Copies of this chain bind each other. A is one copy, B any other.
């Protein structure tokens, strides 16, 4: 290992002619390689003096451990994989940010793979990811069952999905639905449309289930289930006609994008939001505050979802037996709370029969 200071322009720029290895550190510190390794990975197992020696050598040489080598020998790559259906989708991007953030705090590297919403590619991508990492986080998998099979028992955390025996983190869709419905109910709405998302979407299923439970509890309510619809503005545009004709005074949408499309078409149809129709969206992305009227929305801290998934994975990693022993099935399922952000798109229902009964007491 030797340093060079070639002149580039008028600046000194240094480059390593070869990588600084643990052995180099050992030599400068005047100790053996294994001592350096210990000093770095289990500082308590080394004399304080020696540790100081090693540390200053590390600083002096600018040593950075080689993860590949450490992983090869130690069995841990200190790296995990994150698979998302679409990095450019603000929802997944927020989750990914949380994952990346927490990974950094845990000193883990994270391989990111974008499946581009292709459910058939997914299992193979997962398999490859699993083979070069210590574990994998799957965000909103499109083929969860096949993925779990492909991963062959390696540490795995699911986001926005639930499979028996697999750790997961999810948004509280049922609670979110409750919040949305109760908000609308307290505003006097009795007939509510749900503009659902795409078929087989896990969170859509959850929300429909939540709605079924709500109407059992609140017999005075009527819920009109619509969909499947595309999870974008187009989906909302398409749904608007049916919503307008449904006799509903309020609508809950699969996400912000759907709400945007819905509101736009509704207004084009001559309806006023929220005067004629109140709208509650899901996700509370940046869009919710950017459009007019601003959207009342059900939100969950998505960065926390990513962070939680990472923490769960780290737990799995710590308990992972590694070579061969089946891991204890840690079937931890974290559900992060939903909250309702009330904005301009919801207003009291002005009854056509009895004007003035808008802010009704409990039913």
Binding site for B on A (CB under 8 A): 6, 8-9, 13-19, 62, 64, 66-69, 71-72, 77, 79, 86-90, 93-94, 96-97, 100-101, 104, 109-114, 116, 127-128, 131-132, 148-149, 152-153, 164-165, 233, 257, 260, 264, 286-287, 289-292, 303, 323-324, 326
Other than the given A64-B128, A93-B93, A287-B287, 20 more pairs (CB < 8 A) read: A9-B165, A13-B148, A13-B149, A13-B153, A17-B324, A19-B323, A64-B127, A66-B72, A66-B132, A67-B132, A68-B69, A72-B72, A79-B111, A87-B97, A87-B100, A90-B93, A101-B114, A104-B114, A111-B112, A287-B290
Given contacts A86-B97, A128-B64, contact A18 B323 (CB under 8 A): yes
Complex: how many Å from CA A93 to CA B164? Answer: 32
Complex: how many Å from CA A233 to CA B287? Answer: 12
Inter-subunit contact A326/B15 (CB<8 Å)? yes
**Nearest Cβ in chain B — how far from A214, in angstroms?**
30
Residues in B neighbouring A19, C-beta threshold 8 A: 131, 323
Complex: how many Å from CA A270 to CA B323? Answer: 70
Complex: how many Å from CA A64 to CA B6? Answer: 41
Complex: how many Å from CA A71 to CA B77? Answer: 13
**Nearest Cβ in chain B — how far from A65, in angstroms?**
8
Q: List 23 A-B contacts (CB under 8 A).
A: A8-B165, A9-B165, A13-B149, A16-B152, A64-B132, A66-B72, A67-B68, A68-B68, A72-B72, A87-B93, A87-B97, A88-B90, A88-B94, A89-B93, A93-B93, A96-B112, A100-B114, A109-B132, A112-B112, A233-B289, A260-B290, A264-B292, A291-B291
- Most chain B CB inside 10 Å of its own CB: which residue of A66, A68, A96, A100: A68
Complex: how many Å from CA A122 to CA B169? Answer: 30
Complex: how many Å from CA A113 to CA B79? Answer: 12
**Nearest Cβ in chain B — how far from A58, in angstroms?**
13
Inter-subunit contact A110/B111 (CB<8 Å)? yes
Complex: how many Å from CA A130 to CA B226? Answer: 51
Inter-subunit contact A68/B77 (CB<8 Å)? yes
Residues in B neighbouring A109, C-beta threshold 8 A: 111, 132
Complex: how many Å from CA A196 to CA B62? Answer: 40
Inter-subunit contact A290/B233 (CB<8 Å)? yes
Chain B: CB-nearest residue to A89: B93
Residues in B neighbouring A68, C-beta threshold 8 A: 67-69, 71-72, 77, 132
